[in-house]
Chains A and B, each alone.
Chain A
């Protein structure tokens, strides 16, 4: 068995989610190869080669792969697929965008967002916003899978010494082109990888009030998340949304401030180790999952909390 892991990267650095995906591959067992498709991504390839447990790194360096356009990357993966038993990618926006296209071209089902590996062909994944866990078995000749990063502890980023091999295949479907992007800038840790997450909801009342959460977060070395209500109301950008349709987090500590705890929000954070809820409504559903609940006005509690930590 040989497993192909598609690296998540921005042409400059290997994203941490790749380490969790390699960990899932290691649980399946067999040789692990990593594909780095990009443009000018040699630093990423070097980093991938050092990841513990990786046997080989394939580098496809071509302008067509610069922005991870699925129309160009999917045919590349399909061309490389022969000989692999599994193709894995992190369930990030890139992984979710590219892998189903690969699966359809290979004429196999795809298994989305696995949270555990039961055996080489059997996996667990959440359905219905995490309210049920399905165990699924695949008889496909090539198993195409996305991995929920929070389900697997990352492998070490150092310690491996894989050979790096260039792949010459160039696929440019010519159907799509990159126009531009607007990335949110932040010095705080990345939301999905942070040890502590402080999240605000509708109770924050406006975008300005989020500054209280930012100061608290900076003191704790935490990332800041949000509920859909806070995003839809325009308090914060959508890439901060935690939930079924936003990001899935599982930090050591999740502090939910002014968040009621709808099913869709819980889907994104209920695997956190310790959950703290601060809400003035003592009937809020968030208290049913919180390890520590504080019924209080957040505008009094947050500054006080900031002083004490």
Chain B
């Protein structure tokens, strides 16, 4: 079966971002960018499904600026077969991304779509669910285990109280949690091979999708700073401070 994986180019997870002085957003100039960690897990899961003989083709898709091609090449180096970039210079909201992905799903007809559960920049945790709604697919969000058998997929999900397993009819959308797998590293020969794999570039217009949004960001501020407190010398002093100064125990 064909598996579609969506990946996003985001600021590297180790970067401590700074808010711009004019409060228009965070400063991403000259900041290291990477593939969103949850998307790496999605790619890894697709590659494992292919290695098990469940998946026959892996198509990786990204919606973003021209240089998101770097992240698509990374996914190709990890084992995806071909890539699609839906190029959009502006930052799109989850619903617009879901609509574009839905257009790609209609075109490619995958049996399984795997996304990360959230992007570490916008922290929305929406796109997979929205795509499932638009395509009419079942959804298995926050997956820590995925097992395909016949025309069903069993997804073990991380929920607030523990774990839950659901069975979904294919085609379905799955979003990955951190515990799903450990992504591999791309080897140099695979990185070289990835340069020759096909990468198709599309536009929202070509897919006939409007990316209009009902939300706008008015401003972005730094959170209230929390300053370092004091260092205590002993456990006794700590308990004394918590009892008498902070009055929390």
Using a CB–CB distance below 8 Å, which chain A residues touch chain B?
Answer: 67, 69-71, 74, 92-94, 96-105, 107-113, 122, 126-140, 173-184, 192, 196, 220, 228, 231-232, 237-239, 244-245, 247, 252-253, 263-264, 270, 273-276, 282, 287-296, 301, 304-305, 308-309
Contact = CB atoms under 8 A, between A and B. Distances in A.
Interface string B229-244: 1111011101101100
27 contacts: A70-B132, A92-B160, A100-B127, A101-B132, A104-B130, A113-B123, A122-B218, A126-B223, A128-B120, A132-B222, A134-B217, A134-B220, A135-B221, A138-B214, A176-B139, A176-B166, A177-B167, A180-B164, A181-B161, A238-B179, A263-B14, A274-B246, A289-B226, A290-B228, A293-B229, A293-B232, A294-B231
Contacts of A263: 13-14, 16
Interface residues of B, number: 80
Contact of A276 (B127, B179, B216, B238): B238
Contacts, number: 254
Contacts of A126: 123, 223
Q: B interface, by DSSP: helix, strand, loop or mixed?
A: mixed
4 shortest interchain CB distances as A-B pairs = A291-B229, A100-B129, A104-B133, A104-B130
A293 B122 CA distance: 32
Contacts of B33: none
A175 B137 contact: yes
Main secondary structure of the interface of A (DSSP, over half): mixed
B241 A292 contact: yes
B158 interface: yes
Nearest to B175: A97
Interface stretch (B59-67, B75-83, B92-100, B187-195): B92-100
B95 A264 contact: no
B74 interface: no
B16 A74 contact: no
Contact of A130 (B93, B141, B223): B223
Given A128-B11, A181-B164, A304 B235 contact: yes
A253 B231 contact: no
